[in-house]
Amino acid sequence: MQQKLEMKLKSGVCNMLNWYLQSQNNSDVVISSRIRLARNINGYPFSIKQTKQDKEKIEDIIKEITPSLGYSIKFLKLKDIDDITKMSLVEKHIISPNFALNKENIGAILINDDENICIMINEEDHLRIQVLCAGLDLDNLLNLCIEIDEKIQEHLNYAYNEKYGFLTACPTNVGTGLRASVMVHLPALTTTGNIQKILEVISNFGMNIRGVYGEGSKTHGNMYQISNKQSLGISEKEIIKNLKLITEKIIEQERLARNILAKESIDLEDKVYRAFGILSNCKKVSSEETQKLLSDVKLGTDMGIIKELNDLKVNKLILYTKPANLQKYLSKKIDSYERDIKRAEVIKQIINEN
């Protein structure tokens, strides 16, 4: 089973639809949802004071309890995963960029076949328990994450304080240790010029707004990551309730903005079909340009303007045109210039799939 998972990660192309290729509730606006719990093992130094031996000991402890956790989870050390595979997981938002690129190459993951469960070991905290899905489904994700957390607690004692809750490497995670986030696609709000107002409102309601790869990253293709700021003095269910409320308002505002754009139908159709035309006919295209064009193409497909595509094809285009996942799709390592050429070819292949 472990060998099967490693081969699947190396191939990068899924025979079955993993969560990042699916379309679920409100997927026209909400690309994905994620719940993450930060946990540390009592009696072991936090990351800032850890030695290499401390980290290796924690990995050994987690590896030993892995078979008893269930969910078809497998243990993999980062040093045993090639760089392209690690970056493909970053592009899928399954592991963080800093974790994938740490110079010590220390760390490990617990991951299942569907890749909707991934626990990062020795990232910023000893454990970062993550569950992910397409669309907006925070309640079910929270239930799954708590279930996994409780299974781990059967074997480990967490660092916990009666007053402050779960103790974490970063003070902003103390308390529940929970970070809930949604990835949203807001092209209409951007086009109508209302995006800044919306982002200010989100911030005023106690939410973080970040780029697609977390803190300090850029926004790509009109996509934003929204997550809770507060973790202390508030329950897990309250965090989820607040994020859902904000997200539902964002969905409403984005759809209203799309209705406004639809009134100027010729301009909107021209914009989305120009993007589709470039992607369908180009001979060479960069990753950055592709993501910008795909934002318009996704908008056109979601609004029923572009008939040549469906949700699955759009999701494949978004994933398999990113640098690492493009190389996984092609099963070979290529330089950036050749990637731009091959990307154009892969785009045509996916568009023309039956």
Q: Tens digits of per-residue pLDDT, 59-91?
A: 999 999 999 999 999 999 999 999 999 999 999
Say what the pLDDT of residue 167 is: 95
Give me the mean pLDDT over the 333-338 stretch.
97
Computed over every residue of the chain, the mean pLDDT equals: 92
Residue 292, exposed/middle/buried by CB under 10 A (0-12, 13-18, 19+)? middle
Say what the pLDDT of residue 10 is: 57
Of 151, 256, 140, 136, whose CA–CA distance to 184 is shortest? 136
Say what the pLDDT of residue 2 is: 52
Residue 221: count other Cβ atoms within 10 Å of its Cβ.
19
User: pLDDT tens digits, residue range 255-276?
Assistant: 999 999 999 999 999 999 999 9
Say what the pLDDT of residue 263 is: 95
Chain centroid, CA 353 distance in Å:
26
> pLDDT at residue 121 above 60?
yes
> Hey, what long-range contacts does 13-20 have (CB within 8 A, 24 or more apart)?
13/320, 13/328, 13/329, 17/312, 18/114, 18/115, 18/116, 19/114, 19/115, 19/116, 19/132, 19/133, 19/134, 20/92, 20/93, 20/115, 20/132, 20/134, 20/315, 20/319
Rounded to whole angstroms, the maximal C-alpha distance in the chain is: 64
Query: What DSSP assignment string belongs to 149-175?
Result: HHHHHTT--B-EETTTEE--SSGGGTB
Least confident of 94-108, 184-198, 203-217: 203-217
Residue 131 in contact with residue 147, Cβ under 8 Å?
Answer: no
> pLDDT at residue 313 above 60?
yes
Rounded-to-integer distance, Cα 186 and Cα 13, Å:
28
CA angle, 32 then 35 then 37, to 5°: 155
Rounded-to-integer distance, Cα 137 and Cα 180, Å:
11
Spell out the domains of the chain, with CATH numbers in brackets.
2-259 (3.30.590.10), 264-351 (no CATH)
> Residue 243 corresponds to which amino acid?
L
Enumerate residues 6+ apart whose C-beta is below 8 A from 196. Answer: none
Give me the mean pLDDT over the 32-48 stretch.
95
Share of the chain above pLDDT 70, in %: 94
Say what the pLDDT of residue 224 is: 94
pLDDT, greater one: 210 or 28: 28
Provide the token pair at 180: 């809930």
> pLDDT at residue 295 above 60?
yes
Say what the pLDDT of residue 5 is: 56
Q: Report CA dihedral (61, 67, 70, 71) to the nearest 10 degrees.
A: 90
Enumerate residues 6+ apart whose C-beta is below 8 A from 41. Answer: 58, 61, 126, 127, 156, 157, 158, 159
Burial letters 263-286, b for 16+ CB under 10 A, else e:
eeeeebeebbbebbebbeebeebe
Give me the mean pLDDT over the 12-27 stretch.
81
pLDDT, greater one: 196 or 111: 111
Taking the model in full, what pTM does it have?
A: 0.90
Model confidence at 11, pLDDT cuts 50, 70, 90, reads low
Say what the pLDDT of residue 7 is: 54
Say what the pLDDT of residue 47 is: 85
User: pLDDT tens digits, residue range 182-195?
Assistant: 999 999 999 999 99
Model confidence at 9, pLDDT cuts 50, 70, 90, reads low
Say what the pLDDT of residue 16 is: 65
Enumerate residues 6+ apart whose C-beta is below 8 A from 15. Answer: none
